[in-house]
């Protein structure tokens, strides 16, 4: 799959593509990322890409024309490599919230053109004419869309075959359908006692059924405490067993007990 990124700061991406396990996806072109600076498509000696907003107010607004020229060039480049049309995504606070199911959809797609805004935003006329979808990481504002683009690319890259050392790792992540959309359980490693805090006995028992039951209970308890909306969704979708419901009922009756 191929992602073309429109950004005023392509240098922010370079270290990301050569670091960590996800670099395997970029090196192997499982996730092919091409970077484009709209300043290269701006006019004048200063290659200006922003101007003051009509109506007054603070900050600057990215101009539509350099963005449109950049996008047109990307479309031509993509047509030579892969004729399939892909959507244009803008990272914006007003966009739909990115979640695991969304990442999964993009990881199975042909890719997209990602637009990273800066300053007070983009001229709305470019958005109206060219943007297909807007995506948000949450209810907060970043200084630009680059961090959001990196987050999406990282989440997609780690789902590609051969990227993680253990192929099953991502199947046990929080939000994954393999875990019924619940949060993941706590994890422990050596030593078995650290600063007088022992590892839970179930994890040292050697009884795999007991270990899996402990992990399931911890996922249920943690999701109930931190993200009850996810637990309710799992309940509505019929993902909770009678044993799960019994455990949760016991938590309500004994709120201080350990999972």
For residue 60, how many C-alpha atoms fall within 13 Å in the half-sphere facing its CB?
Answer: 12
Helix (H) or strand (E) holding 69: helix 64-81
Domains and CATH numbers, the chain: 2-157 (3.40.1280.10), 173-253 (1.10.1270.20)
Q: What is the predicted pLDDT for the residue at 178?
A: 73
Name the catalytic one among 173, 184, 213, 235. Answer: 173
93 a catalytic residue = yes
Pick the catalytic residue from 93, 154, 233, 235. Answer: 93
Q: What pLDDT sits at residue 167?
A: 59
Question: Catalytic: 158?
Answer: yes
Residue 58 known to be catalytic = no
Rounded Cα distance between 110 and 102, Å, is 14
Q: Cβ(146)–Cβ(9) under 8 Å?
A: yes
Which position among 32, 65, 120, 154 bears the catalytic label? 120
- Catalytic residue of the set 2, 78, 118, 158: 158
- What whole-number distance in Å separates Cα of residue 15 and Cα of residue 45? 30
Per-residue pLDDT of the chain (259 residues; tens, 9 = 90+): 999 999 999 999 999 999 999 999 999 999 999 999 999 999 988 899 999 999 999 999 999 999 999 999 999 999 987 667 899 999 999 999 999 999 999 999 999 999 999 999 999 999 999 999 999 999 999 999 999 999 999 999 999 998 986 555 565 667 777 778 999 999 999 999 999 999 999 999 999 999 999 999 999 999 999 999 999 999 999 999 999 999 999 998 776 654 4
- Please tell me whether residue 89 adopts helix, strand or coil conformation: strand
The pTM of the full predicted model, rounded to 2 decimals, is 0.88
Which residues are paired to 3 by β-bridges?
Answer: 33, 112
Cross-strand pairs, 135: 96
| The pair of three-digit structure tokens given for residue 116, joined into one six-digit string | 């990273």
- Tell me whether residue 167 is one of the annotated catalytic residues: no
- pLDDT of the residue at 118: 95
């Amino acid at each position: 799959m191929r992602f073309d990124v429109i950004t005023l700061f392509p240098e922010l991406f370079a270290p990301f593509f050569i670091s960590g396990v996800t670099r395997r996806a970029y090196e192997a072109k499982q996730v092919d990322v091409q970077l484009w600076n709209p300043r290269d498509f701006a006019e004048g000696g200063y290659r200006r890409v922003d101007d003051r907003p009509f109506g007054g107010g603070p900050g600057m607004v990215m101009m539509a024309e350099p963005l449109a020229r950049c996008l047109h060039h990307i479309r031509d480049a993509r047509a030579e490599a892969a004729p399939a049309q892909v959507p244009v995504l803008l990272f914006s606070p007003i966009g739909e919230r990115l979640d695991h199911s969304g990442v999964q959809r993009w990881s199975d797609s042909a890719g997209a053109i990602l637009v990273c805004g800066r300053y007070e935003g983009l001229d709305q006329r470019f958005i109206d004419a060219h943007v297909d979808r807007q995506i948000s990481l949450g209810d907060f504002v970043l200084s630009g869309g680059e961090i959001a683009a990196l987050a999406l690319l990282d989440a997609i890259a780690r789902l590609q075959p051969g990227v993680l050392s253990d192929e099953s790792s991502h199947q046990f992540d929080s939000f994954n359908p393999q875990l019924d959309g619940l949060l993941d359980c706590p994890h422990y490693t050596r030593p078995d006692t650290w600063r007088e805090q022992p590892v839970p006995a179930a994890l040292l028992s050697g009884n795999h059924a007991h270990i899996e039951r402990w992990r399931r209970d911890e996922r249920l308890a943690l999701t109930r405490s931190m993200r009850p909306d996810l637990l309710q969704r799992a309940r509505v979708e019929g993902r909770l067993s009678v044993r799960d419901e019994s455990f949760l009922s016991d938590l309500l009756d004994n709120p201080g007990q350990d999972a």
